[in-house]
Amino acid sequence: MSNGDRITGDVPGPRADRRGFLGAVLGTGMFGLVVSVLYPMWRFVFPPRDVRAAEEAVGIGPADDFPFNSGKLIQFGNEPALVVRTAEGEFRAFLGTCTHLACTVEYRPDLGLIWCACHDGQFDLTGKNIQGPPPRPLPPLEVQLRDGEILVSRPK
Ligand code: FES
């Protein structure tokens, strides 16, 4: 090799190893960033499908296990639902997501109402919004008693 020859290409050694390591770290970081942006978009466009909510009734146990003037939150597909047994013993059920900003509602036996803790929204036992910021009633669900068991389903 004469003095005029130039060395081209990567020179193996510690410098090339650091460059490769940095490339791997940055590549992994970029991959993670892309996945963390695209995955939520993918799940929004193609949400997980829960067959129970769309097509079937959800069994929530024997009616005798439900005290009068009480409420119970259940999982209805991928949404919460609120089942209420009134002081008179009637069953009512609603989707449990507040129509204001989507907090989960609960039954307040002391008020005899459905209540949203986020902004003190209130619904009567027909699901109608009666106080606070909720703009619409709670969507009702159908309650059936079959062989002593309570079944909740979407209205047909
Ligand atoms: S989210 Fe329920 S009252 Fe605001």
CA–CA gap between residue 75 and residue 128 (Å, rounded):
22
Structural domain of 18: 11-47
**Contact call for residues 84 and 70 (beta carbons, < 8 A):** yes
Residues 35 and 92 in one domain: no
SS3 32: helix
Residues 138 and 103 in one domain: yes
Residues 29 and 106 in one domain: no
pLDDT for the residue 12: 63
pTM, rounded to two decimals: 0.69
Residues 43 and 56 in one domain: no
Any ligand 1 atom below 6 A from CB of 96: no
Distance 128 CA to ligand 1 centre (A): 14
**Contact call for residues 101 and 118 (beta carbons, < 8 A):** yes
Residues 72 and 97 in one domain: yes
Residue 4, domain member (yes or no) = no
Residues 16 and 74 in one domain: no
Closest CA to 99 of 66, 74, 69, 132: 132
Residues 96 and 114 in one domain: yes
Residues 39 and 69 in one domain: no
Distance 103 CA to ligand 1 centre (A): 6
Any ligand 1 atom below 6 A from CB of 133: yes
pLDDT for the residue 1: 47
Residue 1, domain member (yes or no) = no
If one residue of 99, 106, 119, 138 were mutated to test the ligand 1 pocket, choosing by the most ligand atoms within 8 A of its CB, it would be 119
Residue 135, domain member (yes or no) = yes
pLDDT for the residue 34: 96
CA–CA gap between residue 14 and residue 20 (Å, rounded):
10
Residues 69 and 30 in one domain: no
Any ligand 1 atom below 6 A from CB of 116: yes
Residues 18 and 87 in one domain: no
pLDDT for the residue 51: 46
pLDDT tens by residue, the chain, 156 residues = 445 555 555 556 777 788 889 999 999 999 999 999 999 999 888 876 654 444 578 899 999 999 999 999 999 988 999 999 999 999 999 999 999 999 999 999 999 999 999 999 999 999 999 999 999 999 999 999 998 899 999 998
Residues 89 and 29 in one domain: no
